[in-house]
Amino acid sequence: MQRRKFVKTLAAAAVAAQALPQAGEAMEDQLARLSADLNEPAIGGKKWQRVRSEFTLNQGITHFNTGSVGAVPRVVIDTVCQYMRQDQIDPYSKAFESAPSVGPNLVREKAAEFLGVDVDEVTVTRNTTEGMNQVATGLHLNRGDEVLTTNHEHGGGMICWQYLAKHHGVKIRYMKMPNPVVDKAEILELIEENITPRTRVCSFSHIDTITGLQMPMADIAKITRAKDILLVCDGAQGPGMLDVNLRALGVDTYASSSHKWLLAPKGSGLLYIRREVQDRIQPVMFFHTGGTGKGLSAYGAASGSRNVPHILGHGVAIDFHNAIGRTNVEARCRALSNLVRQRLHEIPALKLLTPEEPELSSGMVSFGLDPAKGNNGEICARFRAEHNIILKTVQGTYAYVPAEDFTVARPNYNAIRISTHIFNSKDEIEKMAELMKKMLA
C-alpha cells in the first residue's frame, strides 16, 4: 500500500513539473532516492538518520516543539525558492495563467488522498485559524444557538465562536475537561451531558494542545450525527503526525495547519468540509458566481491572489511524507513520544497529563511540573539558553476562555509539552531526560 501511494506521488511530481519545470525533475529524483534508501535492507538502524539528513536543522539544535512549528525538509525549501525565482521571469503568466490552473489544484488532489476524502471536499488555506474562521462565519448561526466546546481549546479554534457570541448572540458552552482523561467513555459521557436542545455545533480539537490527548472523534461523531449536530474539528496537530483518515473520523469539518507536523512552509493549511454539509456551511472564500459551482476551490474570484510558491511547497511536503510512508511516520512519532513518557515518568517532580491509552495519545506528551520544583517557563528557558533544546510551555486550562465565562480560579498545570517528530532521535531524548532529572533533583 505504501509503495503504491509513493508511485502515485511520483506521477503527481511529473505533473507538477508543468508548473515548475526546472525543479520538478530534481524534486522527483530526490524523493525517489529517499524512498529507495529507506527500503534498502542494508540501511538497518540508520533509517531515521537518513531521514534527518533531509533537513537543514542546525546540528546544535534539538527541536522538540513541532506542536508549534515543524522543520521544513530541504526538498520543500528548494521547491519554494526555485518557483519564486522562476515566477519573476514572467510575473503575470506565472501568477495568473499557468500556475494557478495547475499547482493549487494538484495540491488539492494530493491533500484529498492524504486525508482520505474527495477532492471537492478539501482546499488549501493558510492555517487552522483561517479554516475555523471560514467554517464559523459560513454557518450563519442564529441568536441563542449553542456551540459546545472545551476549556482546553487553542485560541485559533475558539476565537471564531467568541466572535459569533459577541456579534450574533451565539452561546458558547465550555465543557470542563478531566485531567488526566482515564478512558474515552469519560469524554463521551461529558459530551452527552452537555448537549442541549439548542446545540448546533460541537467544536473539539483532534489533538488537545495542552495535554496531547487524542479525542475519540469517530465515537463523538456517532453522537453528533444522530442529533444532526455539526462536528467541527480543530485538526492543527493531526496530519503529518497521525495517518489521518477523515472519512473514518466522521467529522463534518476539519481545519489543519500544515506548517506543523506536515512540515510544509509557514502559512500552509488545509480545510475539509464534508460534501453532505456543504449546503449548510458556505464561506465567502468559496463562493461561486451564479451559485452554480460545486464543492470547494483552491483559487478563484472569492479567494483572490494566492501564494503559489508556498502552495506548491505544501504539495511537495505531502510527497515527502508519502515517500517515507505515513504509517511509518506515525509509528516513529509514537515510538519517540513513548520514550519521552517513560524517561520523564521517572522524575518525581513531573506528573503525566497525557492519557496512557494508545488510542487517546499522540506524538505530543505533556507533564505537569510541581510548582515547588520550579516554573515551567523558567525550565524551558534554561533548556534553550544552556543546551539549545526547544521545549514548549503550555497554557493552563481556560487559557482562552473569557473571564466572565468561568466561576472558579483558573487552574494552572505548570506544564511542559514535548513534541517528537521524524527528525528527532532517541539520543536527543535521553540527553533531555538526563538534563531534566538534574534540573529537578
Whether 9 shows a pLDDT value over 90: the answer reads no
Per-residue pLDDT band at 262 (split at 50, 70, 90): very high
What phi and psi, each to the nearest 5 degrees, are found at residue 146? -115, 145
d(CA 10, CA 29): 9
285-340 pLDDT per residue, tens:
877 655 445 677 665 556 667 788 899 999 999 999 999 999 999 999 999 999 99
Give pLDDT, residue 5. 55
Least confident segment among 1-15, 378-392, 410-424: 1-15
Contact between 370 and 349 under an 8 Å Cβ cutoff? The reply is: yes
Q: Is the pLDDT of residue 11 over 50?
A: no
**Binning pLDDT at 50, 70 and 90, where does residue 409 land?**
low
The mean pLDDT value for 363-377 works out to 95
Residue 15 in this model has a pLDDT that exceeds 50: no
Q: Is 33 exposed, middle or buried (0-12, 13-18, 19+ CB in 10 A)?
A: exposed
Confidence of residue 104 (pLDDT cuts 50, 70, 90): confident
Question: What is the model's pLDDT at position 407?
Answer: 56
CA 49, 52, 58: angle at the middle one, nearest 5? 120
* pLDDT for res 45: 81
Whole-number pLDDT of residue 222 = 98
**Percent of the chain whose pLDDT exceeds 70:** 86
pLDDT tops 60 at residue 152: yes
Position with higher pLDDT, 226 vs 84: 226
The arithmetic mean of pLDDT across residues 194-218, rounded, is: 97
Better-predicted residue by pLDDT, 208 or 303? 208
Render pLDDT for 187-202 as a digit per residue (tens, 0 to 9): 999 999 999 999 999 9
In whole angstroms, how far apart are CA 302 and each of 25, 103, 200, 290, 305?
A: 33, 18, 27, 12, 9
Of residues 242 and 283, more confidence is placed in 242
User: What integer pLDDT is reported at residue 306 of this predicted model?
Assistant: 79
The Cβ of residue 36 has, within 10 Å, a number of other Cβ atoms equal to: 10
pLDDT value of residue 55 = 96
Q: What is the pLDDT of residue 398?
A: 57
- 406 falls in which pLDDT band (50, 70, 90)? low
pLDDT band of 284, cuts 50, 70, 90: confident
pLDDT of residue 288: 64
* Parallel, antiparallel or unpaired: strands 389-390 and 62-63: parallel
The mean per-residue pLDDT over the stretch 136-165 comes to 95
The reply to whether the predicted model has a pTM over 0.85 is yes
According to the model, what pLDDT value does residue 326 have?
96
Contacts of 28 (CB under 8 A, 6+ apart): 10, 13, 14, 17
Q: Do the bridges between strand 146-150 and strand 269-273 make them parallel or antiparallel, or are there none, so unpaired?
A: unpaired
Which tops the pLDDT comparison, 314 or 399? 314
Task: Return the pLDDT at 301.
Answer: 58
Domains and CATH numbers, the chain: 106-317 (3.40.640.10), 327-439 (3.90.1150.10)
Average pLDDT, the chain: 89
